[in-house]
Structures are given as C-alpha cells and as structure tokens.
Amino acid sequence: MNKLAKILVWHGLVAVLAWWMWNVGQKIGFNSVTGLDIQLPSLVAFILLTAVIVTGYIMFRQRRWAVSITAILGVLFLLALGWSWLNFSAVLIALGFNLWSATRVRREINERRILNITDAFYHGLMPVVLGLFVMVSFAAYRSPILNEIKTAQQLPSQTQIFFQQIVDNTIGQKIKATTPGQRQQVINEIASQTFQEINNIMKPYFRYAPPILAFGLFLILWGLSFLFVWLGIVVGLALFWILKKTGVVRVENQDVSAEVLVV
C-alpha cells in the first residue's frame, strides 16, 4: 500500500469514527439530576477517534493534514448537531487544537535521535482531546435541559428528587416520626422548601444558565482529560503495534545530520 492510499484510509477511518461518535453522542451534556451524562458507545468512539487521529499525525508528520482531519470532524459535527455560528466557531477552535497537536507530534518525532512513540502520543493526544471537548461543550450549550432552565426560570423539577435524596442521607435518620410515611412527608417538605429557596436565589441568573453550564461541562471534561489521554495512549500504542506487525509502518535506523552551535 503506497503512502497516498494509507492517507486516504486514515481519513476514511476518522470519518467513520467521527460519524459514530457524533451520532451516538448527541445526548452528551447535563442530565436533570446527576450532572454529566456520557454514553458508553460515544466514550469508546471518542477514545478510538483520538488515537487514530494522532496515529496519523505520527505517521505522516505534516501539519496540513490537521486541516483535512478537522474538516471531516467539523462537517460531521454540523450534520449531526445542526448548523449554527456557535457550532462553527467550535470547529475553528478545534482546528487550532489539531494544528497544535500536529506541530507537537512533528517536533517530537523529528527532533529525537531515538523514537519514543509513547511521548509522541502523549504530546499529540492532549490538544486533540481538548479540541473535541470544546466541540462537545458547545453542542451541550444547545442541550434541551439547559434551554429548559432558561425558559422555565427554575431548576428542572427532577432536581427536587436529588434534594430529597440529600435530605434523606444527611438528616433522614434524625427525623422523628411515628410512621415511615410521615417521615417521608417531612423529607419531601424540607426538599420542597429548599428547592423553592434555591430557585428564588438563582432566578435572576437562569438566563445565563446555558453558557455557564456549558462552560461547566468543559471544566468537568478538562478535569477528566488525563484519563482520556492515557486511555488514548494505550489504544494508540496497540494500534501502532498492529501497524508495525502488518508492515504498514517500519522503524529504521538512518544517519542524520544535526546543527551545532559553535562559539
């Protein structure tokens, strides 16, 4: 298989994985009670996608491929989640991160006398992961749960269930009641009053809920980025090993010249 065919296969694989991730992950965002909601298939697709993207940057080491790869990600992102200037700006931000990734990988490969593929994956994966996190967060900005908060000017009604669980777990055993029903009634009343008080306090700020919570989603994902990066490294190294064993890539010893500063 010549180099052009390998590049085309790489782009095709990225397209398949991106289509899979954006379509199964359309509901990523905040759920009504627990917060972050990520489906397992979209998580698997995300890790595979990031590993495949960085594997290509390692193999081909040209920054221009970051543009074509981001174009694939962006087009499928807009098709799956809808066109808007906000989503389009997310694609442009992801382009910057992908160019950064390709640059870091190129520098890591070209400036080493002995290849360290693990370091190349590490340097390449972080920007790619963050770029995709930006796209996910911008998509969550238009999540139904965020718009529901903005329109209703109150927290989702399901949040009251969450408050009931907190009351039950913290002071539930201290509530004196003759029957379990009366005890539950007291818990519900405390949770209802807490729910109303928080709504009254936060009511002036609900119109800012979508951008605040979308940014909060990005911070949550950013905090988990190390986990995604290391999972991507494991998958990427396994993929690179398969490519070596099948002869798609080779590691050879070559004599190279180096610039030396002389004073």
User: Which pLDDT score is estimated for 115?
Assistant: 78
User: Which pLDDT score is estimated for 186?
Assistant: 73
User: Which pLDDT score is estimated for 30?
Assistant: 46
User: Which pLDDT score is estimated for 233?
Assistant: 94
CA distances from 172 to 34, 179, 193, 248 (A): 20, 13, 16, 63
| pLDDT tens, per residue, the chain with 263 residues | 788 889 999 999 999 999 988 887 555 544 444 344 556 777 888 999 999 999 999 999 888 999 999 999 999 998 887 788 888 888 999 999 999 999 999 988 887 777 788 899 999 999 999 999 888 887 766 655 555 555 555 555 555 566 666 666 666 566 666 666 776 777 777 777 776 776 666 666 556 555 666 666 677 778 778 888 999 999 999 999 998 888 888 877 776 666 665 66
User: Which pLDDT score is estimated for 35?
Assistant: 46
**pTM of the entire structure?**
0.72
Asked if residues 238 and 55 have their Cβ atoms less than 8 Å apart, the reply is no
User: Which pLDDT score is estimated for 116?
Assistant: 84
User: Which pLDDT score is estimated for 32?
Assistant: 44
